[in-house]
Amino acid sequence: MIPSLEERRGLQVGDGAKLIFEIESEDEFGEISRDYERMWVVVSEVRPSYFIGRLTNTPIGCHRKSNFYLTENVEVPFLPQHIIDIDRPPQAFLDALFSESPKKRWSR
């Protein structure tokens, strides 16, 4: 069950949010395909109208592309309506994640 809008709007730094990503890619023949993947981000910043989170994994099939933005520990912006689940990761995981700078920062 998707959390209530109130719960989704109430996220704080360190909360985990599961999002659905629509990933468009082009193969070597120029064919465009769309894939959808559910991935967790950890909220790293609460902005007035959106959140910034750190992606906790690399999408399947994207590791082959060296210039692909979506990789583990990059920042991604998201809105409450993008959230399909909420969790709180263990403190040891959060400490390790936030002990490093993100691999890529989202423009503010």
Q: What is the CATH number of the domain that holds 60?
A: 2.30.30
Q: Count how many domains the chain has.
A: 1
In a domain, 104, yes or no: no
In a domain, 84, yes or no: yes
Q: CA 93: distance to chain centroid?
A: 16
Q: How far is the C-alpha of 70 from the C-alpha of 98, rounded, in Å?
A: 18
β-sheet bridge partners, residue 62: none
- Flag whether the pTM goes above 0.75: yes
pLDDT tens-digit series, residues 13-41 = 999 999 999 888 777 888 888 889 999 99
In a domain, 78, yes or no: yes
Place of tokens 């400490």: 95
What's the whole-number average pLDDT of the chain? 91
Encoding tokens for residue 26?
């082009």
pLDDT tens-digit series, residues 46-85 = 999 999 999 998 877 665 556 778 889 999 999 999 999 9
